[in-house]
Chains A and B, each alone.
Chain A
């Protein structure tokens, strides 16, 4: 076991993949000499060479489009999109090509492309640097979408994503890059918890609280705070956003009877809506209250001075828990 930061853990995972498979190739802006603006690829070009760790021209559609060609040729491209807000430039290549080629060719062509996207807010950045675009991709069939929440998972899941024969969007919570945690580098990604499986982080009996990526830490803190107030929260780290591991969430909700989902992305059409609807369909008769979403607002990501109002914090999550529990909350006295 080694203590390392989130960013370092991904770096170590990328290194292993580069070592284990000569077909793995990294592409992106500033990922070589600079080691990426977040230093996630630090030192990799020095050790693996410019043909394996490629500084690309400043062209996102070009990066993904050429990754498609490399995949046709049998490579496993791992692409870095520098910031969430720049993935839209590559949107057409991702949803029209990357996502659909396997299906369109009736399985003949594989697209084992991993697209790393540092995402989410909370770091005081200017506009286009704090987006949570995951729902655009979970809405697109053919893509796998994951988000990691701790260094160990970051390390293991990046390797699982790279060895997966489907395209994977790998969302990295950038405000957690410097958080440290224990990482067992010897853990075999093939026998570790598969990346499409959710994990129960803290067991509880009163409410199921579902989170992913940057908000998992906040959700755990909320569970600790709630325990002091006598409320027992079961926290689930969703890990895979597409497909969602509903079996794990469903089992938890059958036990607790209450569901709260939290994410930074806006509420409407977000993943929380999908989880709430699916769980309602699957275990309506086990629910004791309507599912609650605690999310960002339906606004463009605000300027940094006010971003903490948009992002769900511990108190907003607890307020949501109170709503699910029928305890006094900020909306008491209102319908819904």
Chain B
């Protein structure tokens, strides 16, 4: 099929951009392991309260300035709802839902993950800046969804 010369140039250049995006995205994913939260581990959504480690949610120190936060989400609260960690701490959040679909977002950071019933989600972040961070549910989960929040204090 014959194409207009300038159309060929336009499509070549723009396609080159798309391929470039693809390559950069691939490099970030494969080489730098910068990829969105995609943990694969299942749990019985009706027995979260009896299943370890979610039978005992809370903040656990697991290394030199390294923490693990085991957290459950349910309409309309995060457990634990108030977290304190030292500045510079590397924190891994282990999350699951006791009922419907929730979102786990820490505003003004890159922490953003879907938390599904039956699935355990995991996301890691280093908190360098001290301050009070707002944790909120960013997926509609029912009538009190707008009240579902928690706080992380970095000292």
A binds B: no
A residues apposed to B, CB below 8 Å:
none
B residues apposed to A, CB below 8 Å:
none
